[in-house]
């Protein structure tokens, strides 16, 4: 799960990580008032969307007076922001964060994350703050410092100091850098973040260490124990159908094609989409009903698929293991009858209770095309859509 910059900064503050003063605004007038309240000679007005590279798309503007802040906010609010990280259609800006300007002497990059290959936590830092870390890695990899943290041991102060010396920081600054990084790491651990990225991390003219920007991603698998974090979810930032799927505990990704798919298991779902493509068709979605699929889940999955008006065929592909094919078949029949499914249905049932499942489909009297293999299923679904 992602959060906005203003939310991330709230969390950073809670963990003692220094950030500039800032106020959230949803109208130009609020932005003007915010600038006045901050009272600094310069403020920065920043679009709040879940995407990086906002400055490049015109989503970050400097203002030298409350009137300028109002003007900047009126330009940013309501705009559709396009950055290298937004989806092709862009992102609508609904909120801006008005922040006090900072006296920047040095810009650095720092991120805390999980290194999956090493199975350890890692802190990555570079002297090239403000630049995309990928670009730094490609051009000047020697400017990147990495430390690994053993999961059962945790971060030690000497590691942070070592990182600071590697970034050419003076000892006076390192004394502030150590608690700063400690706060970031504590936040990462205590809130079960999957990544905390500070870019840029700024050293001010006075030698203070502050987070000028902050991006935090959270581990969805750990949200159950962080209701305060779960509350930060912004539904406006999520795809409608994907959000509904989330609520129904289904893994769904909308695509552009016309063959709706319902599959158990992410692997088989991917293989199914490949097979449709291979057979000359085009999938309308990725949908994994998961290992514990029952009648209700199948019904919900159908509802979700049918919300997409582009769907001309539905392909159900189940390889029963823990999932029982007879329960899936009941769900398919129930959905077809109760929801009045009008598009052709192609169903492949294999594995646990497949024979019972096929019998339920046959006895239902519904016009359902069945398939034995994945290839047959793909071919028949593509043919049915023509």
Partner 1 sequence: MSILIDKDTSFIIQGITGREAVNLTRENLDYGARIIGGVTPGRAGRDIYGVKVYDCVRDVVKHEGQPYGSIVSVPPRFTKDAVFEALENDIKLIVIVTENIPRREVAQMVELANLRGARIIGPNCLGMISPGEAKMGGVGGPAANTRQAYTKGNIGVMSRSGGMTTEIASTLTAAGLGQSTCVSIGGDAIVGTTYAELMPFFEDDPATEAIAIYSEPGGRMEAELAEWIAKNNSRLPVVAFMAGRFMDEMQGMRFGHAGTIVEGKEDTTADKIQRMEAAGISVAERIEEIPELIKQRLAEKK
- The nearer residue to partner 1, 18 or 144, going by C-beta atoms, is 144
Of 225 and 386, nearer to partner 1 (C-beta) is 225
- Report the nearest approach of partner 1 to the CB of residue 199 (Å): 9
User: Using alpha carbons only, what angle is made at residue 159 by residues 190 and 151, rounded to the nearest 5 degrees?
Assistant: 40
Pairing of strands 345-351, 313-320: parallel
CA dihedral 16, 40, 8, 247 (to 10 degrees): 140
* End-to-end Cα distance, the chain: 39
CA atoms within 13 A on the CB side of 301: 31
In 3D space, the residue among 109, 106, 105 whose CA is nearest the CA of residue 181 turns out to be 109
Q: How far is the CB of 21 from partner 1 (least distance, A)?
A: 27
Pairing of strands 259-263, 251-254: unpaired
Give the residues across from 115 on adjacent strands: 120
**Least distance to partner 1 from the beta carbon of 118, Å?**
7
Residues in contact with partner 1 by the rule CB under 8 A: 87-88, 111, 113-122, 124, 132-134, 137, 144, 146, 150-152, 189, 192, 194-195, 197, 217, 219-222, 224-225, 255, 264-268, 270-271, 273-275, 277-278, 283, 291, 319-322, 350-352, 373-375
DSSP for 302-368 reads HHHHHTSTT--EEEEEEEESSS-HHHHHHHHHHHHHHTT--S-EEEEEEETTHHHHHHHHHHTT--E
- Smaller CB separation from partner 1, 346 or 374: 374
Of 61 and 215, the one with the shorter C-beta distance to partner 1 is: 215
Name the DSSP letter for residue 145.
E
**What positions carry a catalytic annotation?**
109, 197
Strand pairing report for 259-263 and 313-320: parallel
Cβ(234)–Cβ(243) below 8 Å: no
Q: State in angstroms the smallest separation of the CB of 61 from partner 1.
A: 24
On whether the CB atoms of residues 140 and 114 are closer than 8 A, the answer is no
CB of 346 to partner 1, least distance (A): 17
Nearer to partner 1, 79 or 268 (CB): 268
Are 46 and 97 within 8 A, CB to CB?
Answer: yes
- Nearer to partner 1 (CB atom), residue 79 or residue 189: 189
DSSP 161-193: HHHHHHTT--HHHHHHHHHHHHHHHHHHHHTTE
At its nearest, how many Å lie between partner 1 and the CB of residue 206? 28
What is the secondary structure of 26-85 as a DSSP string?
SSHHHHHHHHHHH--S-EEEEE--S-S-TGGGT-EEEESSHHHHHHHHHHHTT-EE--TT
CB of 133 to partner 1, least distance (A): 5
User: For residue 161, what are its two tokens?
Assistant: 């100091």
């Amino acid at each position: 799960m992602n959060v906005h910059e203003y939310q991330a900064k709230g969390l950073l503050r809670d963990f003692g990580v220094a950030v500039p003063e800032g106020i959230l605004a949803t109208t130009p007038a609020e932005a003007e008032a915010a600038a006045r309240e901050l009272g600094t000679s310069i403020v920065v007005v920043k679009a709040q969307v879940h995407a990086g590279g906002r400055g490049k798309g015109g989503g970050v503007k400097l203002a030298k007076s409350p009137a300028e802040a109002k003007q900047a906010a009126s330009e940013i609010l309501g705009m559709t922001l396009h950055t290298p990280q937004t989806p092709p259609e862009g992102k609508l800006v609904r909120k801006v964060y008005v922040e006090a300007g900072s006296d920047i002497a040095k810009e650095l990059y720092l991120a805390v994350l999980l290194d999956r290959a090493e199975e350890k936590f890692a802190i990555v830092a570079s002297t090239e703050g403000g630049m995309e870390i990928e670009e730094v890695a490609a051009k000047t990899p020697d400017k990147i410092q990495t430390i690994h943290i053993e999961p059962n041991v945790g971060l030690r102060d000497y590691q942070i100091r070592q990182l600071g010396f590697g970034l050419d920081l003076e000892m006076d600054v390192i004394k502030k850098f150590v608690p700063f990084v400690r706060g970031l790491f504590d936040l990462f651990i205590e809130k079960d973040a999957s990544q905390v990225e500070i870019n840029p991390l700024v050293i001010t003219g006075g030698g203070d260490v502050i987070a000028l920007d902050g991006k935090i991603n959270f581990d969805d698998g750990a949200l159950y124990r962080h209701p305060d974090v779960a509350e930060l979810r912004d539904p406006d930032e999520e795809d409608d159908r994907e959000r509904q799927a989330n609520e129904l505990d289904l893994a769904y990704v909308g695509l552009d094609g016309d063959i709706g798919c319902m599959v158990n298991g992410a692997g088989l779902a991917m293989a199914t989409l490949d097979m449709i493509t291979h057979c000359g068709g085009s999938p309308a979605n990725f949908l994994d009903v998961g290992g514990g699929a029952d009648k209700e889940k199948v019904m919900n999955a159908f509802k979700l698929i049918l919300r997409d008006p582009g769907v001309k065929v539905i392909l159900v592909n189940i390889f029963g293991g823990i999932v029982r094919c007879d329960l899936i078949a009941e769900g398919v029949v129930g959905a077809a009858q109760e929801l009045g499914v009008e598009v052709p249905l192609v169903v492949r049932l294999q594995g646990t209770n497949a024979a019972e499942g096929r019998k339920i489909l046959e006895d239902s009297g519904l016009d359902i095309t069945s398939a034995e293999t994945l290839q047959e299923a793909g071919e028949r679904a593509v043919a049915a859509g023509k």
